[in-house]
Amino acid sequence: MSTASPKFTGNAAEYWDALLRPALGKDVAFAENFLAELRAAKLTFGDRVHCPFLRPFFLSPQDEDRVRPVAETIAELGERIAVAALADEKLFAQFHLRPEEARLARLPGGNGRVSTASRLDAFLLPESLKFAEYNGESPAGAGYSETLGEIFSELPVMAQFSKRYAVHSYPLSAKLLDALVMSYLDWGGKSKRPQIAIVDWKGVPTWSEFEILKARFEKLRVPTLVADPRDLTFDGKNLTANGKKIDLVYRRVLINDIVAKPVECAALVNAYTANAVCVANSFRCKIPHVKAFFAVLTDERNDALFSQAERKVIADHIPWTRVVADTRTTHHGESIDLLAFLRKERENLVLKPSDEYGGTGVTLGWEKSESEWDGAIQAAISSPGPENNGACWIVQERIPIRREVFPYITESGAVEFRDMLVDFAPYLFRGKLAGYLTRLSATGLANVTSGGGQIPAFRVSARNSTAKK
């Protein structure tokens, strides 16, 4: 595994840690008070606080200049290829959607952008920028990220740190709201302050984030409520929730759940089908959301879909990906038997279900024995497949990862410095970079669902020559 850290970020991180250590010594309740502030701000995933870490992620302006054009290009490809797939059955088939997902994706109610909000999961290193997957459906965490950034900005350590580094934070909720309202206006909406419903199941771990976003949207004078799909009613003309007519659904309920619970989600689907309400993200977002999207991007048979510049972005930043099947394909231009290649190259490959969340089912070849890997391959090729309402699997080439040492608050309240994997995930709102979700994990998988933690990201630059070189 690659473990290098950019020198710039290391300098900023080292300076932060140098300021933090004496602060911890002077205030024995520092960590306890920090965690209490997180809970008071609803920064929890279920019962667990999001951020048991005492340092943000720092990136330089040069880092952002590298990330922005690549992330925006991939998001734009997601939009364009989804539209192309709906017009081309052979291309559409490469995404391996289940029958009901395919039906929903083809419904006429999804005018405008495929994905109003999306997110790319990446690893940023000095020598590489690689994206592991694209969340084109319902990316969580923007409200958490912004609130975490505000809490870190108010720490005494930040006041000292800011004397040496200029610090830029990311106002994600305002940008998300702008994107949602723009998609509503594109859909044909007339109100500058549409009634928004954030829709997902009551009791989901991210409900606290919906409450954060509701408060922030309403502070910006856009009426917002949070509703369960079962709270919605459609009378053939209007979609309502809690007695209020809904203009814009910020859909956080997953298409997987809509398919699994058709009765509970009937009002939402019927209103969408009748084009009676703007829904963002549209059901068409499922097309680029599935992990087979990267197989479409990296398969040479699709090269004609992309410009020369786009093919270079794909080659430089998207790992080689294929849908697992007993077939022949190509690996960087060389013809291979795919299953034989999988068995031979275990140390350099990852297996994933094409349509799962939170790291479910992900198998890292280099962490498995040969027999365990063979079992994972067999499970992948034996899965029921989309035609029987099962997910296909993809195989992806291993990419360099990033690790850094972060101050971590243990269950006893002590602060230790631990080596963590750093997953860096740019948010794209209407295809434009808006900020970042940054997750840390001690394991090879970085996601809050599987026990990782989240920290805010700040863009920093040295104010003067006194900064450490």
The distance of Cα 307 from the centroid of its chain, to the nearest Å, equals 26
pLDDT at res. 50: 86
pTM: 0.92
Choose among 164, 148, 162, 154: nearest CA to 57: 148
pLDDT at res. 466: 47
Hey, which bits of 295-414 come out as E strands?
321-323, 328-331, 334-337, 349-353, 363-364, 393-397, 403-409
pLDDT digits (tens, 9 = 90+) for 240-295: 998 999 999 999 999 999 999 999 999 999 999 999 999 999 999 999 999 999 99
Do the beta carbons of residue 453 and residue 439 sit within 8 Å?
yes
pLDDT digits (tens, 9 = 90+) for 332-364: 999 999 999 999 999 999 999 998 876 778 999
Do the beta carbons of residue 214 and residue 225 sit within 8 Å?
yes
Angle at CA 260, nearest 5°, toward 386 and 208?
Answer: 120
Report the pLDDT averaged over residues 288-313: 97
Query: Alpha helix locations (H) across 165-291?
Result: 172-187, 207-219, 255-260, 266-273, 286-289
- Under the banding of pLDDT at 50, 70 and 90, the label for residue 7 is very low
Q: Please determine, for residue 51, whether its predicted confidence score (pLDDT) is greater than 90.
A: yes
pLDDT at res. 447: 52
Cα–Cα distance for residue pair 420/413, rounded to 1 Å: 18
Which residue do the tokens 């990782």 mark? 452
**Residue 82 DSSP one-character state:** H
Which helix H or strand E contains 7, and what residues bound it? helix 7-26
Which residue do the tokens 């083809």 mark? 106
Do the beta carbons of residue 82 and residue 288 sit within 8 Å?
yes
Do the beta carbons of residue 17 and residue 406 sit within 8 Å?
no
Cα–Cα distance for residue pair 429/19, rounded to 1 Å: 35
pLDDT at res. 8: 37
Q: In a 3-state reduction of DSSP, which class is residue 120?
A: strand
Concatenating the DSSP letter of every residue in 190-210 gives --SSPPEEEE--TT-TTHHHH
In this structure, what token pair is assigned to residue 96?
Answer: 């391996």
Q: Please determine, for residue 451, whether its predicted confidence score (pLDDT) is greater than 70.
A: no
pLDDT digits (tens, 9 = 90+) for 227-243: 999 999 999 999 999 89
CB proximity list for 445: less than 8 A, separation 6 or greater: 359, 362, 364, 452
pLDDT at res. 42: 87
- Under the banding of pLDDT at 50, 70 and 90, the label for residue 389 is low
- Under the banding of pLDDT at 50, 70 and 90, the label for residue 382 is confident
| Helix and strand element counts for the chain (H, E) | 16, 24
Across the beta sheet with 321-323, what order do the strands follow? 321-323, 393-397, 349-353, 363-364
pLDDT at res. 6: 37
Q: Please determine, for residue 53, whether its predicted confidence score (pLDDT) is greater than 80.
A: yes
Pairing, β 224-227 against β 196-199: parallel
The residue extents of the domains of the chain are: 7-288+402-462, 320-397
The CATH class of the 320-397 domain is alpha beta
Cα–Cα distance for residue pair 95/291, rounded to 1 Å: 8
Report the pLDDT averaged over residues 419-438: 97
Report the pLDDT averaged over residues 198-225: 96
pLDDT digits (tens, 9 = 90+) for 92-113: 999 999 999 999 999 986 668 9
281 preceded by cis ω (within 30°)? yes
Do the beta carbons of residue 212 and residue 44 sit within 8 Å?
no
Taking CA atoms, 415 is separated from 28, 32, 406, 422, 433, in Å, by: 10, 10, 10, 19, 34
Which residue do the tokens 């849908």 mark? 323
**Residue 345 DSSP one-character state:** T
Which residue do the tokens 């290649």 mark? 341
Please state which of the four CATH numbers 3.40.50.1760, 3.30.1540.10, 3.40.50.300, 3.20.20.100 is assigned to the domain occupying 7-288+402-462.
Answer: 3.40.50.1760
Choose among 126, 125, 127, 134: nearest CA to 401: 125
